[in-house]
A and B are shown apart, each in its own frame.
Chain A
C-alpha cells in the first residue's frame, strides 16, 4: 500500500470511528438530562432507571471517544506534520478551547457518574447538563477547525509564507456555522434514531415494556426534531458550498459540464474516465435552485476547474446521494411519528411504526458517515483548500501501511467489544431494573 493512501486511510478510519463515539457522547447526556428531570419531577423510578442505564452507555462511549480523540490529536502530527507545522498556530484556537470544554465535560462526568446519592439532587442534575453542553461545545469547536480547512481564513498567504495570522478570524471562518449546525443536528438525529430504535425493538419483544417505551419516547422526540430541521440546515450548507467550493458541489452532483439551468441528479453511475453519469434521474433546474435559490441560475461544473484540482467524483457523488436519501427517509419517519402522537393513539397499537424505528437504527450513522465523506473527500486534493495539497503534508516516514493495519485491527476490535458490551447492558435490563425497589447491582 502506498504511504500516502495509507495515511489517508488511517486518518479516515480514525475520524470515522471517533465521530460516532463523540456524537453519542455529546447527545446522550441530553437524553439523560430529560429522563433525570422527569424522575426528579415525578418520582417515577422508571425514569431514574432509564437515566442510570443510559449513563452506563455514555460512560462506555465517552471513554472510547476520549481515547480515540487523544489519538487524533497526535495523529494529526504523526501523519500530517507539514500541515500541522503551518496550520497549528492558525486553526489551533478552537482546539485550545475544545481542550477546556472537554476537560469540563470529563470533570462533570465524574460528578455525574459517581454522584448518585452523594450530591444535592439538583446539583447532580446540573452536572449531567454540563456534560451535555460542554460536549456539544467541543463538537462545535472541532467542526469549526475542520471548517477552516474548507474555508481558510485568518492569515495572508504570500509567496508560500503564512503571514498576519489571526486565530480568532480563523475560528470564525465562513464555513464554521453551516458545518457546525449540520453536524450537531446530524448527531442528534443519528443518535436519537439509534437509541429509539433499540428501545423500540425491546418494546416489540415485550420485554420491560414500560421502561423501554418511556426511553423510546425521549429519544424519538430528539431524533424527529433533528430529522425535520436537518433539510433546512442542509440547504444552507449547499448554498454555502456552492459559493466557496464549487469543485466540491460539482463533485457532489457529478456535474462535469457547467449548465444553466443545472439539473439535480438522483442516483446514477459515474464514469470518471468518460466524465459521464448514466442512469440518473434528472430534476431539471433543481440544482440551480439548491445552489443559488434560482431555478435558472448557472452552476459551475468541473470543466471550469483545472483537472489537477478535481476531487474524486464518484465517491463524493455516491456519498452525497446516500446522505440525502437517508435524510429524506428519516424526515418522513419523523413526520409520520408526529402525526401519530398528534392523534394520541398509543404507540404499542402501532407496531409498524416501532418497526420503522428499528429499521432506522443504523441509518442515521450511515448518513452521518456519508456526509463526512462528502465534506472530506470533496475537499481533496487540498488539505487546506486552495493553499496546501494533502500529498504535500504527509509524513516523510515510510511504512505507514503497517500502522494503518494495526489501527484497523484496533478499531475493529474496539467496535466489536463496544457492541458486545451494549448488547450485554440491554440484555441485563430486566435483571437490573425490573424490580424498582432494589438498587441496581454495583460491580
Chain B
C-alpha cells in the first residue's frame, strides 16, 4: 500500500504541475500580453480553462492531504520552516481563484473588471513562483532544523539562489505549457501566431532559468547534476525531454497543434522525473546533508492502508467523471 500512496502522491504533484501549471501559465501569458490583445487572450483562455479550472486545482489538495495523513513528519517540517513562502503561495491561490470567478460572475461589467484582471495576472505569476521556491527549498539543503535565530530558520530556508531559480524556472514552464495549450484552442490565425511567439519566449526563458538552476546548484552544493547526469534514468529522461522539444517545434512548424500538448506534457514530466528520480525516496534535504525520506516519514501501517484504499476508491469515482468532463468540453469546441 505504501507504493500505492506514493504513486498517488507523485501523480498528484505531476498533474497539479501539468494542469494547474497550464492554468497559472494562462495568467502569466496574459501578464506578458500587450494591452490591446489582452481581451482576446482572456477570452480564449476562459473558454479553455473555464469548465475544468476548479478540478485542476484539486490535485494540490490531494497531494497535501496525502502528505499530512501519510507523511506527517514531512508535512510539518515543511509547514514550520517554509511557513513564509507557503503563506505567500496561499495568498496567491486565494487572490487568483477568487479574482478568476469574480471577474466572470460580476453581473455588471465596469472598471471593477480591471481590478480583477490585475489581481488575477499578478497572482498567476506569484503563486507558481512560490510553488517553485517551495519545491526548490525542499531539496536545496537550506532547511536548518538546528537554527536558533529567526532569519536562518525561517528566511534563508527558502531565500537562496537555488530556490529562487527553481521558482523562476517553474514560472517559465507554466507559461510554456499554457502557450502550447492555447495554440490548439484558437481558430484565429493571428492569435495562433501570437501564442507561438509566446511559446518561443517562454521556451527561451525556461532554458535560461534552467541553466540558472544548475549554476545555483553548483554554487550551493545541491547534487542536482549528479542526480540528472550520473543516473541512467535521469539522463535518459533529460535526453527524451530534449528530443521531444525538438519534435515539438518541428510539428509546430508543420502546423499540427493538438499533438503538441501531449509532447509538452511529456517533456515537463521528463524534467520532473530527471530531477526527482535519483533523489527518490528522499524527500527533504536538510542542512548538513541529512534527509527525510518518504519511507522513514511514513505513517502507521493501518493509516497507509486505509489512505491507499480511499485513494483507489476515489480514483475509480473521479477519473472517469473527470475524463468525461475534459472530453465533453473538448468535443464541443471542435464542432
Is A99 a contact of B105 with CB atoms below 8 Å?
no
Within 8 A of B (CB), among A85-119: 85-86, 88-90, 92-93, 95-100, 102-104, 106-111, 113-115, 118-119
Chain A residues in 8 Å Cβ range of B299 = 88-89, 92, 165
Chain A residue with Cβ nearest B300: A165
Task: Determine, out of B167-175, B235-243, B250-258, B311-319, the stretch whose residues face the partner at the interface.
Answer: B311-319
Contact A119 B328 (CB under 8 A): yes
Flag whether A329 is at the interface (Cβ < 8 A).
no
Q: Given A71-B93, A167-B306 in contact, is the A398-B76 Cβ separation under 8 Å?
A: no
CB–CB B65/A99 < 8 A = yes
Contacts of B35-90 to chain A: CB distance below 8 A = 50-52, 54-55, 57-58, 60-62, 64-66, 68-70, 72-73, 75-76, 78-80, 83, 86-87, 90
**0/1 per residue, B279-297, Cβ < 8 Å to A?**
0000000000000000000
Contact B87 A403 (CB under 8 A): yes
When the two chains form their complex, are residues A95 and B91 in contact, meaning their CB atoms are under 8 A apart? no
Question: Top 10 A-B pairs ranked by shortest CB distance?
Answer: A92-B69, A77-B79, A100-B314, A89-B299, A63-B101, A88-B72, A428-B107, A81-B76, A106-B54, A67-B97
19 A-B pairs within 8 Å (CB atoms) are namely A60-B101, A62-B54, A63-B100, A66-B57, A70-B57, A70-B61, A81-B76, A81-B79, A82-B76, A88-B69, A92-B69, A93-B307, A95-B68, A96-B306, A99-B58, A102-B58, A110-B51, A110-B55, A167-B307
Chain A residues whose C-beta falls within 8 Å of the C-beta of B7 in the assembled complex: none
Do A103 and B62 have beta carbons less than 8 Å apart?
yes
Q: Does A59 contact B (CB under 8 A)?
A: yes
Give the chain A neighbours of B75 by CB distance below 8 A: 77, 84-85, 88
- Check A443 for interface membership: any CB of B closer than 8 A: yes
Q: Does B32 contact A (CB under 8 A)?
A: no
- The smallest C-beta distance from A308 to any residue of chain B, in angstroms, reads 26
Those of A360-417 within 8 Å (CB) of chain B: 395-399, 403, 406, 410, 414, 417
Q: Is the CB of B69 within 8 A of A77?
A: no
When C-beta atoms are compared, the residue in chain A nearest to B53 turns out to be: A110
A150 touches B (CB below 8 Å): no
Q: What is the CA–CA distance of A397 and B107 in the complex, to the nearest angstrom?
A: 43
Q: Quick check: B58 and A432 within 8 Å, CB to CB?
A: no
Structural contact, B83 and A397, CB atoms closer than 8 A:
yes
Known: A103-B62, A103-B314. A84 touches B83 (CB 8 A): no
A56 beta carbon closer than 8 Å to chain B = yes
Is A166 located at the chain interface by the 8 A CB criterion?
A: yes
Asked if A78 is at the interface of the complex by the 8 Å CB criterion, the answer is yes
| A168 lies within 8 A of chain B by Cβ | yes
What size tier do the contact residues of chain A reach? Answer: 35 or more
A74 and B91 in contact (CB under 8 A), knowing A99-B61, A102-B58?
A: no
Q: Taking the complex as formed, is A427 at the interface, i.e. its CB lies under 8 A from any CB of chain B? A: yes
Interface size class of B (residues with CB under 8 A): 35 or more
CA distance A432 to B52 in the complex (A): 26
Give bound CA distance, A64 to B54, whole Å. Answer: 11
Q: How far is the CB of A26 from chain B (nearest CB, A)?
A: 15
Verify B109–A443 contact, CB threshold 8 A.
yes
Query: Which of B76, B86, B310 is within 8 Å of A85, CB to CB?
Result: B76
Any chain A CB within 8 A of the CB of B94?
A: yes
Please, which residues of chain A bring their CB within 8 A of the CB of B66?
96
Q: Is B231 an interface residue (CB 8 A)?
A: no
Residues of B within 8 A of A396 (CB): 80
Pick the contact of A421 from B61, B106, B313 — CB < 8 Å?
A: B106
- Interface membership of A348, Cβ < 8 A: no
Residues in B with CB closer than 8 Å to A59 are 101, 104-105
- Are B325 and A107 neighbours in the complex by a CB distance under 8 Å? yes
Q: Does B102 contact A (CB under 8 A)?
A: yes
Give, as a whole number of angstroms, the nearest-CB distance from B312 to chain A. Answer: 10
B303 at the A interface (CB under 8 A): yes
Rounded to whole angstroms, the CA-CA distance of A312 and B238 in the bound complex is 59
List A residues 407-443 near B (Cβ within 8 Å).
410, 414, 417, 421, 424-425, 427-428, 432, 443
CB neighbours of A98 from chain B (8 A): 65
The answer to whether A111 and B72 have CB atoms under 8 Å apart is: no
State the Cβ distance, A203 to closest chain B Cβ, in Å: 20
Q: Is the CB of A56 within 8 A of B76?
A: no
Q: Which residues of A contact B102 (CB under 8 A)?
A: 60, 417, 421
Asked whether, in the complex, the Cβ of A103 is within 8 Å of the Cβ of B87, the reply is no
Asked if A68 lies at the interface with its beta carbon under 8 angstroms from chain B, I say: yes
Which residue on chain B has the smallest CB distance to residue A67?
A: B97
Report the Cα distance A85→B79, complex, angstroms: 11
A12 within 8 A of B: no
On whether the beta carbons of B328 and A118 are closer than 8 Å, the reply is yes
Chain B residues with CB below 8 A from A85, complex form: 72-73, 75-76
Instruction: Please determine whether A73 and B65 come into contact, CB atoms closer than 8 angstroms.
Output: yes
The CA-CA distance from A339 to B223 in the complex, in Å, is 76
A76 within 8 A of B: yes
| Minimal Cβ-Cβ distance residue in A for B54 | A106
Contacting pair A410 B97 (CB below 8 A): no
Residues of chain A with a CB closer than 8 A to B310's CB: 93, 96-97, 100
